[in-house]
């Protein structure tokens, strides 16, 4: 891919108390073989030394916005999307990492195939080791109703064509809401079957606690997507089936179709 034809990519990182990993995360963007990017970090009122670490990185492509009060990852990401200048918008969580050719591979994949919304395979890092999680080949709106098959830190969408698309202002499942909002416009999301992101899975993270899974997802279908209660219950039941199927496939390393 010619650099003269390489579109600007806006990379969005929300940060809250990410001092343990944020330096490595930022460096994984700076070390990209694809150079035409801007990195927008929105700090959600961190109480650790995150900002000191971030401000110690001197690269003109990196900018930092500090929210005046803690509002959650959705507001942080939406704030970055609003001020972004790139034709493409990519997402990276403050504890995940990108392989050095992530943008080069994925942007090239999008340009060569005229794709509006893409995601990729990834490596999951946990106390049990490093695992290659294979993405499904494509995702439609109906697929996303069944389950969220897409990892946030692997996503790029074309804001130049689709427009800037935002996530719902909710504390959980905001990434899922973004993907549903994007796919309403793009009609489909296409997976690139190369692991280009390292996803840290923390045993004590909010996403790792499943006790409130049913309630959160029922509320997502009913309150966020606006489906009636009966349909939301049916979608919730469907979700649980596909959720456990997905986790089983991930566990055995053959999550792929």
Closest CA to 18 of 58, 45, 57: 45
Q: Which residues contact 4 (CB under 8 A, 6 or more apart)?
A: none
Task: Please report, for the domain that includes residue 98, its CATH number.
Answer: 3.90.550.10
pLDDT at 3 over 70: no
Q: In this model, does residue 249 exceed pLDDT 90?
A: no
Give the pLDDT mean for 192-201. 95
Range 86-101 burial, b when 16+ CB lie within 10 A, else e: bbbbbbbbbbbbbbbe
Average pLDDT over residues 131-153: 94
The answer to the question of residue 76 being in a domain is yes
pLDDT (0 to 100) of residue 114: 97
Q: Is 244 inside any structural domain?
A: no
Structural domain span for residue 62 = 3-203
The yes-or-no verdict on residue 209 having pLDDT over 70 is no
Residue 229 placed within a domain: no
CB distance 91 to 165 below 8 Å: no
Largest interatomic CA distance in the chain: 53
Question: Pairing mode, if any, of strands 62-66 and 37-43?
Answer: parallel
Band of the pLDDT at 237, cuts 50, 70, 90? confident
Residue 253 placed within a domain? no
Say what the pLDDT of residue 250 is.
Answer: 65
Residue 202's pLDDT band (boundaries 50, 70, 90)? confident
Examine residue 69 and state whether it is found in any structural domain, yes or no: yes
- For the stretch 47-65, pLDDT in tens is 999 999 999 999 999 999 9
Say if 135 falls within a structural domain: yes
**Residue 223: inside a domain:** no
Task: Classify residue 52: in a domain, yes or no.
Answer: yes
The string of pLDDT tens digits covering residues 7-60 is 999 999 999 999 999 999 999 999 999 999 999 999 999 999 999 999 999 999
Distance between CA atoms of residues 46 and 6, nearest Å: 34
The vertex-108 CA angle with 104 and 114, nearest 5°, equals 150
Total count of domains within the chain: 1
């Amino acid at each position: 891919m010619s650099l003269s034809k390489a579109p600007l990519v806006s990379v969005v990182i929300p940060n809250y108390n990410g001092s343990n990993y944020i330096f490595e995360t930022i460096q994984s963007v700076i070390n990209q073989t694809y150079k035409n990017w801007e990195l927008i970090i929105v700090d959600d009122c961190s109480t650790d030394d995150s900002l000191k670490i971030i401000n110690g990185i001197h690269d003109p492509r990196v900018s930092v916005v500090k929210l005046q009060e803690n509002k959650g990852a959705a507001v942080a990401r939406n704030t970055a999307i609003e001020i972004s200048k790139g034709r493409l918008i990519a997402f990276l969580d403050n504890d995940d990492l990108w392989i050095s050719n992530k943008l080069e591979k994925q942007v090239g994949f999008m340009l060569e195939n005229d794709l509006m919304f893409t995601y990729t395979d990834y490596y999951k890092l946990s106390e049990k080791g490093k695992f290659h999680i294979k993405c499904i080949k494509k995702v439609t709106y109906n697929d996303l109703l069944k389950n969220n098959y897409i990892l946030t830190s692997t996503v790029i969408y074309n804001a130049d064509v689709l427009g800037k698309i935002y996530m719902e202002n909710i504390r959980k499942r905001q990434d899922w809401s973004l993907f549903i909002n994007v796919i309403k416009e793009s009609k489909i999301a296409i997976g690139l079957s190369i692991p280009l992101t390292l996803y840290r899975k923390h045993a004590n993270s909010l996403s790792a606690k499943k006790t409130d899974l049913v309630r959160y997802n029922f509320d997502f279908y009913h309150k966020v997507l606006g489906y009636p209660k009966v349909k939301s219950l049916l979608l919730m039941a469907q979700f649980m089936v596909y959720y456990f199927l997905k986790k089983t496939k991930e566990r055995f390393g053959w999550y792929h179709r």
